[in-house]
Every structure is written in structure tokens, then in C-alpha cells.
A and B are shown apart, each in its own frame.
Chain A
Amino acid sequence: MRRDTNFFILIGTVGLFVLANIILMAFGKLPFSSDGFGIILGAGITLAIYSFLYQDNPAFKIAENLYVGVSLGYTIIITWFNFLKPDLYEPLIVPLFSSAAEKSPQYALLCPSLLGLFMLLRFSRKLSWLSRWTFAFVVGLGAGISIPRVISAFILQQIKPSLHPVFSGGETFLSSINTLIILLGVISVLIYFIFSVEHKGAIGKMSKIGIWFLMISFGASFGYTVMGRLSLLIGRIQFLLKDWLGILQ
């Protein structure tokens, strides 16, 4: 009985959506062109995705799978035309196998190409050991490049403002207070994360202040997250009201 009701709700909603689009096209609110059908498709998928808020249903499943498929297809096409074709196929493969090619093959590209292919050999039991060469290259190069840069950008550059003098020349009273708050926040949060000392006495009080700083930062993150999720909803509703229904100008 319950399944029947859900089925009729789904069919009814789809029917209403089709009817609404016929009316919109009949009254010229939507153009009878690829643009118009694109907007209808966008509106339909938006509604199908949001229908999950009521409960899971086949329309949501179709939209969800469509999203995964389209994203993957788009990624493959963009990667081929923006990267593989101009950076590998044209400078290496075409000159290697075509006598009509104007330029000689760029053999230097063989090295990264082979390393890339070795990565795929993880699927082969006999040859998967070759993928370790690629991983060794990636880990070695990555660590060598990252360690000094990350220390410089994330630690040294961040320590600088934390060690800023509280009463330096030209500072306003409020900015000095700000510097003090930052100093207190850094020290108290660091103390909170020292677990090898029992949080009692002065250490305990400082770690409590640290908890307050953490709570305020979690609150700020939550507030921003609410704003972010709402922005997505607002954007979709703007699309439905403006582009699809033509209510907003």
C-alpha cells in the first residue's frame, strides 16, 4: 500500500513537471530550442536531486547516477583534449608512427609516459612491482619539493604574525588587543593538545581557555558551512525561478 502511494506520488510529480513545461513552452516562457530543453533538463535534475529531502526515490537515483556518468565522461574528454592529445599524442605518438609528421618525436616524454603506465600495472599480479618505481619517484620528488616549501609557507610565515610585537610603533590600541588575543589563542590551544602533562592547575586553566578558542572556531566554521550550503540552495532556486519559470527578472 505504502509502495503504491509512493509510486503514484512519483508519477503525479513527473506528470506535473511535464505539464508545467508544456504550458511554459506554449506561452513562450521557454524557447522551443536546445536552450529551452537544456533549461528543462537542468530544472528536472535539480528537482530530482532535491526530492531526496522527502525520501529516497527512483528519480533521485537516476539523477545521481547521471551526475556520476556525465562527470566521468566530461573528465575523460577534457583530459584528452587539454592534456593527453597536445602533450603526449601529438609530440610523441604521431611522429613515431606517422611518416607525414613534420616534427621529430620528443623522446623525453617516454620517461614520464612509462612511469604513468607502470602505475596502471598495479592491476597485474606479475608486473605490479613495476608500479613501485613510479611510487618511489612520486614520493621522492613530492617530499623533496614539499618539505622546504611547506615549512616555509605554513610554519615560518605563520609564526611571524604570532610573534608580532604587541606595542610596536604605529599600532592602534585595538590591533594590539588583537595581537594579544592571537597570542593567547595559540598558546592555550597548543597547551590543550599537550596530553603528556595532566591538565591541572595553571595548565588546566590554560587548556580550558584553549577549549573556548576551539569552540569559537568550530562555531565560526559551522556558521560558514550553513552559509555555504544555503548559497547552493539559493543558487538552484534562483535558477528555477529565473531561468525555468521566469518569475524573477
Chain B
Amino acid sequence: MAVEKYLRIDRRIIFAIITVAVIASLIVKFELPIPASEPVQGIYEKIDSLPQGSRVMISFDYDPSSKEELQPMAIAFLHHCFSKDLKVIGMTHYTGAPGLADLAMNSVAKQYQKTYGEDYVFLGYKPGGASLIINMGENLYTAFPKDFYGKDTATLPALQGVDSLRQINYLFDLAAGTMIETWLVYGKEKYKFEMGAGCTAVMGPDMYPFLQSKQLNGLLGGLKGAAEYEALVNKKANAVSGMRPQSVVHVIIIIFVIFGNVVFFISKRSGVRNA
């Protein structure tokens, strides 16, 4: 059948079309509106409402395999925190995260002339997941006696007045795995801090029930969430420019899906006729 050959298109042709579409839409610049959705607005408004000097903890729970989605979120969120003069405390449950977290915190802090130890700290990596969170909830200094650079955490001015998670004003978890649920179960529920999250797009739908139940006050889902936050803090970067190819390729995929279905039904109908 003439139509059936379209059901057996070499998938490499589709890969090539997608690649060309991404490259073309990155090179050809055009503006697309990026309105902030309610979950993204929730995080933005919370950070905006915090008084100067409030403590925000960021848990960088991702590694380089999710960098493209979560690193832009981290950078946009850090811009917002530092522009509001909030004290930022970074940590991670992932072995692959320290390099990315360190890079994000130091590069953004430098733009706002923030000093390490006074305005922000990076506690580094510790294994344990749930037990680490419980340990931090009881005593931050036994969980992290030293920071990422080997300095005694008890002597760092940015941590003065913080004994445990109970003194954290807001926790933002950037996660590529199950850490959001772990933070909710062992951290937020027990130590009663407010929490928002940023996650990969794949995890996005699973997080919506926590928004509905108000266990999360906001959510950045995938590159779109990152782009919305970049637009809100007026620091348009990789996530915003990534929305052009994202939109173009989505249209192409929708066309492919419709085309595949039309060809499938035509071939099925002609198959029935021939039989």
C-alpha cells in the first residue's frame, strides 16, 4: 500500500527534523509571551514577601543529567533571593550536585557583591536522605559540622540564629528524583517550614497533588517553569530562549501525531476494503 510506507518512516528522519527545528528556532529570534502560571507565581510572591535577612534554604537535589532544566531555575531563584537581600543556605543530597550548586551560588552572589559566609553558605553534600533531614531538623550543626569548603559551620555569620530547620523561613527544593516527597514527609510535616519546589518536567504531573493540598506553596515544572521565573525576575537567559525551540518542536510533534493517526486509519480502512 502506498500509504503504509509512511508508517515505516526511518526514525532518523524524525530525529533530523527535530534537530533542524531546534537549531533554526534558536538562531532565528522571535518573541513568545511567557506568562507566569499560578504555581510559579506562588514561589515568586513568597520570596518577595520575605523580609530582608530571612533565611532561605535551597536543596540542590540534581546532577548534570538534569542540569539543563534545573540549573536555570536555581540561577533565577538565586537572583531573586540575592536581590531581596535574603540569606541563602545551600545543601545537596546528590553526589553529582556540589559542582553545579557551587557554580550557581558563587556566580550569582558575585553579581550582587555578596560575601561567602556572611550572605550565603554552601553546606555541601551528605548522604542519608530522610535521616539527614531529621538530623538537620534536630540540629543543623551535627548534620553539617563543616561546610563544603571545610569551615566550621558554627562560626559562619550567615547561620547565626539558625539551630535547625525550624528557623528556616523558606525551603526550595530543586529535585530530579524523589527528594521533594522526602522533604515533605520528613522535613515540612515535622518541622513546619514553608516549602516550594522545582522539578524536571517528567516529575511535574506527580507534584500537582501537593499543590492542591497546599503542602507545596509553588512549583517550577521543567524548562517552562524556569523560563517563567526568569521572566518574573527579569533575568531572561537560557530557559527563556529555550522556549522558542520548545514551542516549535511541540507543534511539529503534534503534526507528527495527527499525521501518524490519519495514515494509520487510512491504511486500516483500505486494508478492510481489500479483505
Q: Are A234 and B245 interface neighbours, CB within 8 A?
A: yes
B227 CB to nearest chain A CB (Å): 10
* Chain A residues whose CB sits within 8 angstroms of the CB of B15 once the complex forms: 53
Query: Which residue of chain A is the closest to B150 with respect to CB atoms?
Result: A86
Give the docked Cα–Cα distance between A248 and B186 (Å): 44
Interface locus among B39-47, B79-87, B123-131, B261-269: B123-131
A71 to B18, CA, bound (A): 29
The yes or no answer to A99 lying at the interface (CB within 8 A) is no
Question: Taking the nearest CB of chain A, how far is it from the CB of B25, in angstroms?
Answer: 9
Query: What is the size, in residues, of chain A's interface with B at 8 Å between Cβ atoms?
Result: 43
Whether the pair B12, A54 counts as a contact (CB closer than 8 A) is: yes
> Is the C-beta of B205 less than 8 angstroms from some C-beta in chain A?
yes
Cβ A75 vs Cβ B96 within 8 A: yes
Tell whether, in the assembled complex, residue B127 and residue A79 are in contact, meaning their CB atoms are under 8 Å apart: yes
Of B1-9, B106-114, B160-168, B209-217, the one contacting chain A is B209-217
Contact A149 to B189, CB < 8 A, known contacts A78-B125, A247-B27: yes
Shortest CB-to-CB span from B186 to chain A, Å, is 6
Once A and B bind, how many residue pairs between them come within 8 Å at the CB atom? 131
Does B61 make an interface contact (CB < 8 A)? no
Q: Give chain B nearest CB distance to A159 CB in angstroms.
A: 9
- Within 156-193 of A, Cβ neighbours of B (below 8 Å) are at 157-158, 160-161, 182
CB<8 Å pairs between A and B, sample of 29: A79-B125, A79-B127, A149-B186, A149-B190, A152-B189, A153-B181, A153-B189, A153-B215, A157-B189, A158-B213, A160-B213, A227-B201, A227-B223, A227-B250, A228-B69, A228-B202, A228-B223, A230-B22, A231-B242, A234-B242, A235-B68, A237-B19, A237-B26, A238-B26, A241-B23, A247-B27, A248-B26, A248-B27, A248-B241
The 8 closest A-B pairs by CB, nearest first: A235-B68, A228-B201, A231-B223, A227-B201, A75-B95, A228-B202, A153-B185, A82-B125
Given contacts A228-B201, A230-B246, 10 further A-B contacts (CB under 8 A): A75-B95, A78-B125, A82-B98, A82-B125, A145-B186, A146-B130, A153-B185, A230-B245, A231-B223, A235-B67
